[in-house]
Structure 1
Amino acid sequence: MTGELSPIDKAKFVAAKRAAEFVEDGMRVGLGTGSTAAWLVRCLGEMVREDGLKIRGVPTSTRTADLARDVGIEVISLDEAKWLDLTIDGADEFDSNLSLIKGGGGALLQEKIVATASDQMIVIADAAKEVEHLGSFPLPVEVIPFGWQTTQALIEETMVSMDVMGRQTSLRMNGDRAFVTDEGNHILDLHLGRIGNPRQMAMVLNQIPGVVENGLFIDICDQVVIGYGDGRVEVRDINAGTVSEGRVDFVEDDNLFKDI
């Protein structure tokens, strides 16, 4: 039941519930990865089961694919879809320009590919994810396993000339082993504190040999849906320059919460 959810989880839920309203019958929808995106998948699954919504989902990770199938969403590959009407995903941070840091869940490569293959990207987040400057959240960088320590050294050397507060990097771990992405790569987390020029950072990182992709999403997000623990929701559209507010009511016996 919703009464058992923390304020943060309530905020994530209302953002996901509001964003689900942008999904229309017949759409090909990119499905993000992470705790907030999981609420979105559950909301869409309910719309498929209860309202007869017909969509095809392109997941950004095996975790999301499994959840989507479990809730009744038809899952297809990006190659099958060719192009998407909409992608809805979470973010680890976003700023006033709707630039993002993503990759906390380890799926940044598929997330960026899917998002850029969409007519529109909507980010769903709780209010705590908004920052004045990106960088408090460690920036994930996906690297190939071969020579990853050399790649790490090159990244640290490059950071000396960048507008950042810190330059510490760490290999993401899964227990006592290196974390492995769906593509078989590793992730280096960059503890930068503040990124003065995210656009420059994104371009520079991707020029370093061994780097597959970075977690900076620049000029990709079109709208952000911000949820609050009291049910309030704010929608910002960067293209239209509009901000709208509303509220999502909680339903205590909602099937979405049966496994909470």
Structure 2
Amino acid sequence: MPRGIITNKTPLQKRGNVVLQQHTLSLASAPSLELIAMSSNNQSFDKSVFEEIPESSCLPVARWRRYEGATKTYVLLRDPSDLEDLRKLGQRAAIWRNNQTLTYVSWGLRDIPRDGLNFLHCGFDDDDVRLYIVGSTHDAMAQTAAFFLSLVRSTSNFSCLLIANDTNSSPIDLSAAQSQCFLDVFEAIPSLHLRFENIYLSAAQSIALAMRPHPVTITIIDSILADGGTAFVNALQDRKSSFGSLTLQRMERQFTSEC
């Protein structure tokens, strides 16, 4: 459970393929928030994909660090077609999934979930969609990240994907995200710069990234590779073609190689 969150839940109702649960939520020692006069959402989203959860349902509320206004929360009635469906939610929104994760969705903003929440950050370029996944377990957050990464298409039009733990705590374990999700992203956008920060990658994930058949650009910062990176290094040595660009950085030390 993320630090500072107290939550109770009871079954509410089922909508489409989504089971909603009633929640009450409070944050301990919440900081004062800076008010920002900014519209939360536009109304062009696809209502066959998203259904807004009524405020009266008392589901977890997205609480931003710098914004005190209302943020609409949605459930998915079906899988979105691509990232464009998320962009249409507007500047601020949230998506609740049955694995008990609440994903904060922002577009073109420099705001994050409020203090006390541990989250996994998936950012698609600096000025594009940013996802902040709040969950009670690393597995749940990783699975939700993999779900949203599956929405990347060749037409998604971004050049850098950041997967990070921005909360300065121990690395978030991505092992529950199947390795294929990273390969599918590279398949859609071969020129992508994939950047990990404060993340734990399994040996299987490391091998999959190292054995990508075409040149890639990967940056790994303040992260942990299972088995000390042995599987990753061995897979690199077994390659028959150029890897591309690999940057490994730990605190003030950095190693970059074109290999």
TM-score by length of 2: 0.29
Query: In proportion to residue count, which structure has more strand?
Result: 2
Higher relative contact order (CA 8 A, sep 6+): 1
Query: In proportion to residue count, which structure has more helix?
Result: 1
